[in-house]
Amino acid sequence: MISTKKLIKMARKWQKLAAASRRRISWSRKVAEKGHFVVYTSDSKRFMIPLTYLKSEIFMELFRMAKEEFGVAASGQIMLPCDSSFLEYAISMIQRHVAKDLEMALIMSLNTCRYSVLLNDLQEQYNQQMLICSF
């Protein structure tokens, strides 16, 4: 049988260990490095982008589209309405300092793809309604 003194000593030790583990706060990911911001794409990929890229037309348009699609959140993740492959391509264009007309072509292709996806969704909804009405 364990003596009372030994039991109290063990309980205090466990309390200290429990208190120490509660004080420890760890982040699974860095929030962002200095001079960068974090965005997420529609396929949930995480990108750490330099703040200097905010001046590019591509990111201005992506943020405008994100505002239209998702609204403006006071806190939380910044979600962009594009997939990771598009964002990787856009970042590579910005890094290479491509001409403005190429940036505008990329923005126009994004808008065109986005509206074609919306039209396909509307067409699919219309077809489903027609099927329901035909019964």
CB distance 41 to 80 below 8 Å: yes
- Rounded to two decimals, the pTM is 0.57
Q: Scan for tokens 């201005």, then name that residue.
A: 60
Q: Which pLDDT value is given to residue 47?
A: 92
- Judged by average pLDDT, the poorest of 55-64, 77-86, 122-131 is 122-131
Where is 49: in which H helix or E strand?
strand 46-50
pLDDT grade for 19, boundaries at 50, 70 and 90? confident
Q: Which pLDDT value is given to residue 4?
A: 83
Rounded distance, CA 62 to CA 111, Å?
10
Greater pLDDT, 38 or 31: 38
- Given a cut of 70, is residue 25 above it in pLDDT? no
Q: Across the chain, what does the average pLDDT equal?
A: 76
Residue type for position 74: A
Greater pLDDT, 88 or 25: 88
Phi/psi of residue 57, nearest 5 degrees: -65, -35
Write out pLDDT tens, residues 3-14.
Answer: 888 878 888 888
What mean pLDDT is predicted for residues 20-24? 60
Q: Which pLDDT value is given to residue 117?
A: 45
| Exposure letters 49-64 (e unless 16+ CB within 10 A, then b) | beeeeeebebbebbbe
Write out pLDDT tens, residues 86-128.
Answer: 889 889 988 998 888 888 888 787 766 554 444 455 556 555 5
Rounded distance, CA 74 to CA 76, Å?
7
